[in-house]
Amino acid sequence: MKRRAVIGKIRLAAKAGGLAYVEVELTRHTSISVGGSAHTLGRHSEIAELAARKFWEQFADVLGKGWWRK
């Protein structure tokens, strides 16, 4: 899955939930903060499906359980 698609899905969910979304480019990673929960994603053009799902699960406390399936 493309990196932009992984990040875009989080961005849309944050906007739909009315939560603050901040994206900061670090040296080798991208830091994404949604509603006070911040996590990093490596800067690869392709992200494995399992890795994308695990990354989305990290935001479940803010966006709700299974938010990426909706």
Domain map (residue ranges) of the chain:
3-69
Q: Tell me, what DSSP letter sits at residue 67?
A: G
What's residue 49's pLDDT? 95
**pLDDT band for position 67 (cuts 50, 70, 90):** very high
CA distances from 67 to 29, 44, 48 (A): 23, 23, 19
Whether residue 7 has pLDDT greater than 90: yes
What is the percentage of the chain residues whose pLDDT exceeds 70? 100
Residue 34 corresponds to which tokens in the numbers above?
A: 């949604």
Type of residue at 49: E
**pLDDT band for position 47 (cuts 50, 70, 90):** very high
